[in-house]
């Protein structure tokens, strides 16, 4: 089970529940891999709906590494994600948001 207070997000990949989390190192990798000048630019892509499938895969891959379950980019690209591309995009956006804020209390 994912702990939102620590920035974790859950996603089911190939039938297995995975916990993702963005570490500081993963965020730095994302800046470089996605050719963004800052993380603010990446956040804006998601806020404006201007993100790409590559952005989603990069975020999920970084989150899996941070969560302790690395997956190669090729394996991730071929993986079955419960809920399909929309669920993957939502999880990526949530992962990015949780890296910078605390979750709302119920």
Q: Would 106 be classed as within a structural domain?
A: no
Q: Classify residue 25 as exposed, middle or buried by CB count within 10 Å of its CB (0-12, 13-18, 19+).
A: exposed
Q: How confident is the model at residue 2 (pLDDT cuts 50, 70, 90)?
A: confident
Strands (E) in 3-64, as ranges, are 9-13, 16-20
Residue range 4-9: mean pLDDT, rounded:
89
Tell me, what's the pLDDT at 105? 52
Q: Would 102 be classed as within a structural domain?
A: no
Q: Would 103 be classed as within a structural domain?
A: no
Q: Based on the structure, what is the number of domains in the chain?
A: 1
Q: pLDDT averaged over the chain?
A: 89
Cβ neighbours of residue 31 closer than 8 Å, sequence gap 6 or more: 37, 38, 39, 42
81: containing domain: 4-96
Q: Would 104 be classed as within a structural domain?
A: no
Q: Would 90 be classed as within a structural domain?
A: yes
- pTM of structure: 0.87
Tell me, what's the pLDDT at 31? 83
Tell me, what's the pLDDT at 35? 81
- Identify the CA nearest to 85 among candidates 62, 59, 56: 56
Give residue-wise pLDDT tens across range 53-71: 999 999 999 999 999 998 9
Angle 84-98/39-47 helices, nearest 10 degrees?
A: 140
Q: Would 10 be classed as within a structural domain?
A: yes
Q: Would 49 be classed as within a structural domain?
A: yes
Percent of the chain whose pLDDT exceeds 90? 53
Residue 74 has pLDDT above 90, yes or no: yes
């Amino acid at each position: 089970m994912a702990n939102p207070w620590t920035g974790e997000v859950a996603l089911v990949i190939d039938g297995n529940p995975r916990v993702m989390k963005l570490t500081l190192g993963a965020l730095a990798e994302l800046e470089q891999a996605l050719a963004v000048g800052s993380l603010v630019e990446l956040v804006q892509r998601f806020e404006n709906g201007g993100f790409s499938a590559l952005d989603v895969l990069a975020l999920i891959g970084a989150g899996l590494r941070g969560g302790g379950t690395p997956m190669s980019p090729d394996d991730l690209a071929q993986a079955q994600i419960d809920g399909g591309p929309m669920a993957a995009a939502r999880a990526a956006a949530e992962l990015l948001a949780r890296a910078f804020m605390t979750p709302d209390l119920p």
